[in-house]
Amino acid sequence: MDPRIQAAAERFAALLEGQLKRIDDMAAQKRLAGRAGAHTPVIGVCGGDGIGPSITSAARAVLESLLQGEAVEFRDIGGLTIERRAACGKAIPDDVLAELKACDVILKGPTTTPRAGDPWPNIESANVAMRKELDLFANVRPVKVPERGIDWVFFRENTEGAYAVGSQGVHVTPDLAVDFTVTTNGGTERIVRQAFEYAEKTGRKRVTAVTKANVIKATDGKFLSIAKEIALEYPGIAFDDWYIDIMTAKLLDEKRRRDFSVFVLPNLYGDILTDEAAELQGGVGTAGSANIGGRYAMFEAIHGSAPRMVEEGRAQYADPTSLLRASVLLLEHIGQAEKAKLLERALDVCALEERRVTVTGRDTGSTGAAFAEYVLETVEKVRI
Ligand code: IPM
Ligand code: MG
């Protein structure tokens, strides 16, 4: 065999071994899911890079105030900066990972993802690594624009697809690069079920799967056929499926898009479609994201760390809305549904309706901290 093919085949074999082991781990995790006994939930707060520390501290202030007197513990987790990750050569340094695993939920600021050509080593994204390490398989991203009849919740598969071994593609020769995309039965079943269970619990009437199964036949084909099978178990909920290309168009179709409610989709399509959806809501800075697993959950913005804002000395003017929306999801997750509703209502007033304090990302607007104070004042008003 051509030694270059041999070398690539060995890399591929190692990847497959890793994926088969992941399938076993997933099955074991399913058996052990849930926290051992009741204890005070520990909320780890991880500032991240760029504008991360600024918007995270604004969101934390709001959460701490809302949760005053409740049995929760906030814990600072440092060390997830790009400098530290680069120095260790790891997406998540070992000590940081151990601290994360000692928490129940994590509020996480954006982290810089190195790209080829950056001054940083081309290590895996910290978000992606955290989702995999903590097995946060469901990336839940709500988007709503009430005046246009848009009320969507995306269930993005979060540990597989193009991301499963995204940093382990193979340069077979200088002319030939190959990446891999991965779909497993267990990984697909759990995200599809989560989407249907959510629809059932919240009285939503439609679940829509989005794939490219007409072209990516093995992996997307598997995702779609499993979604179709599981849909049969929920006769009260309509199910349809679309291809990702036409779905990106249909999100802009004013007549059609009101019909969509819950989406379930593989990782990469979910990444792309949720940015488009967030843009319809007012921009990626307005959308929060929950990353949910059997044991842990992590809540974050859907946007990046905006290093340019920091270079230009504007970090304090960054908009914390996305992390505040993520905080709504965090409150729901830890069983504080009433407080979650209060915060959501206050955010609607502050960001969409009244808009007395606005954040523009520059000194033409107020700081993220001032916006957080405005949200807290509004919480008190909507409470009555
Ligand atoms: C997201 C982000 C990440 C992703 C990046 C930062 C790796 O775009 O959370 O959507 O691709 O998942
Ligand atoms: Mg994205």
Query: How far away, in angstroms, is 290 Cα from ligand 1 center?
Result: 12
**What is the percent of the chain with per-residue pLDDT over 90, rounded to a whole number?**
90
- Alpha-carbon distances of 130 from 46, 133, 214, rounded to whole Å: 12, 5, 31
How high is the pLDDT of residue 261?
A: 98
pLDDT in tens, 148-192: 999 999 999 999 999 999 989 999 999 999 999 999 999 999 999
Query: Which residue's alpha carbon is at the smallest distance from atom 1 of ligand 1?
Result: 302
Token pair 């949720």 is found at 274
Token pair 């919480």 is found at 379
What mean pLDDT, rounded, does the chain reach?
95
- DSSP class of 336: -
Measuring CA to CA, which residue among 330, 343, 328, 341 is closest to residue 41? Answer: 330
Contact (CB, 8 A) for 77 and 103? yes
How high is the pLDDT of residue 32?
A: 66
Query: How far away, in angstroms, is 224 Cα from ligand 2 center?
Result: 22
Q: Give SS3 for 156.
A: strand
Q: Does 328 have pLDDT greater than 90?
A: yes
pLDDT in tens, 304-314: 999 999 999 99
CA distance 21 to 272: 28
- The confidence band for 37, taking pLDDT boundaries of 50, 70 and 90, is low
Q: Does 27 have pLDDT greater than 80?
A: yes
**What is the percent of the chain with per-residue pLDDT over 70, rounded to a whole number?**
98
Token pair 């995200």 is found at 191
Specify the ligand 1 atom closest to the Cα of 271: 10
Contact (CB, 8 A) for 79 and 96? yes
Helix or strand (DSSP H, E) at 229: helix 219-231
How high is the pLDDT of residue 229?
A: 98
- Tell me the average pLDDT across 106-130: 90
Measuring CA to CA, which residue among 375, 328, 369 is closest to residue 349? Answer: 375
- Tell me the average pLDDT across 19-37: 78
Q: Give SS3 for 139.
A: strand
Q: Which residues contact 274 (CB under 8 A, 6 or more apart)?
A: 141, 143, 154, 156, 287, 289, 302
Burial of 315 (0-12, 13-18, 19+ CB in 10 A): buried
How high is the pLDDT of residue 3?
A: 97
- Radius of gyration of the chain measured on its C-alpha atoms: 21
How high is the pLDDT of residue 33?
A: 61
**Cα 61 vs. chain centroid, distance in angstroms?**
21
- Tell me the average pLDDT across 99-118: 93
CA distance 120 to 127: 16
Query: Which residue's alpha carbon is at the smallest distance from atom 11 of ligand 1?
Result: 271
How high is the pLDDT of residue 290?
A: 98
Ligand whose nearest atom lies closest to the CA of 268 = 1
The beta-strand segments (E) located in the chain are: 42-46, 73-76, 105-108, 138-145, 150-157, 170-173, 176-178, 206-211, 238-243, 262-265, 288-292, 297-301
Least confident stretch, 45-59, 104-118, 172-186, 216-230: 104-118
Specify the ligand 1 atom closest to the Cα of 300: 9
Query: How far away, in angstroms, is 126 Cα from ligand 2 center?
Result: 13
DSSP one-letter string for 261-314: -EEEE-HHHHHHHHHHHHHHHT-GGG-EEEEE-SS-EEEEESS---HHHHHTT-
Ligand whose nearest atom lies closest to the CA of 49 = 1
- Tell me the average pLDDT across 118-145: 93
Which residue type does 182 have? V
Q: Give SS3 for 218.
A: coil
* Ligand 1 neighbours by CB, cut-off 6 Å: 113, 125, 127-128, 271, 302, 304
How high is the pLDDT of residue 34?
A: 58
CA distance 262 to 194: 11
Q: Does 201 have pLDDT greater than 60?
A: yes
Q: Does 147 have pLDDT greater than 60?
A: yes
Q: Does 36 have pLDDT greater than 60?
A: no
Residues with beta carbon < 5 A to ion ligand 2? 271
CA distance 327 to 299: 7
Which residue type does 104 have? D
- Tell me the average pLDDT across 120-135: 92
The residue whose CB lies within 8 Å of the most ligand 1 atoms, and thus the one to mutate among 127, 157, 289, 303, is: 127
- Alpha-carbon distances of 132 from 157, 160, 284, rounded to whole Å: 11, 9, 23
How high is the pLDDT of residue 119?
A: 86
How high is the pLDDT of residue 35?
A: 54
CA distance 157 to 269: 9
Ligand whose nearest atom lies closest to the CA of 124 = 1
- The confidence band for 38, taking pLDDT boundaries of 50, 70 and 90, is low
pTM over cut 0.85: yes
DSSP lists the bridge partners of residue 144 as: 151
